[in-house]
Amino acid sequence: MAGSALRKGYLVLYNAASAVAWATILGRVASVYFAKGAPFVPLVVDDFARVTQTFAVMEIFHALTGIVPAPIFTTAMQVASRLMLVWGISYPFPHLNTSAWYSSMLAAWSTTEVIRYSYFALKQVDFVPYSLHWLRYSAFLLLYPLGISSEVAMIIKALVGPADKLATWYPYALLAVLLSYIPGSVVLYSHMLSQRRKQVGGAAGAAKKEKKRQ
């Protein structure tokens, strides 16, 4: 009983803090992008976004230890791809962060994570509005293609630009990562579609709505 309470308390705190961190990123990206333009976005968000995304390695730990019932492979794949973007592209080539692709990438990531972490924090206390439940399993239909296309654009900009100045082998490494997006994006998107069918499709969606009315 005590262990269950500690686990629940930890997950509420972890998910709530993560939701706040990503909401901060989203707010900074949106306000600066529309007020001054994409070139100014990294000035207010770059380091904070990198630290926040790096902290997401906890997701892999949670899946490995069973703290949350998340699939290890897809969790590790998503976290690794983002870490590659923030440490393998954004960090060594900061001038690429002035691109609109960088802003759209962070906008897609942060919107997704605000929804996801808010959902999981509220789920621990059994208080998830159906609207948030629907967003959790539907927003990816738009946000995932936006995020993936932005990530691919950032990799290509590095590949055809400054990558070879970092190391002679680096362009080949980026090309391998780029090619991995073909099967990787299909696996992740298919997984999310499967989750959506289980959670909001047909009878599942009707049951959720009925439960909220009771």
Per-residue pLDDT, 175: 96
pLDDT in tens, 46-72: 999 999 999 999 999 999 999 998 889
Q: In this predicted model, which residue has the larger pLDDT, 48 or 205?
A: 48
Per-residue pLDDT, 188: 87
Provide the mean pLDDT of the chain. 91
CA distances for 88 relative to 31, 70, 105, 136, 205, angstroms: 26, 26, 15, 29, 40
Active site residues: 144, 151
Q: How confident is the model at residue 19 (pLDDT cuts 50, 70, 90)?
A: very high
Whole-number percent of the chain with pLDDT over 70:
92
Indicate if the pLDDT at residue 213 is higher than 80. no
CA distances for 209 relative to 137, 175, 199, angstroms: 14, 46, 11
User: How long a stretch of residues is the chain?
Assistant: 214
Indicate if the pLDDT at residue 208 is higher than 50. yes
Stated as kind and residue range, the H or E segment containing 185 is helix 170-199
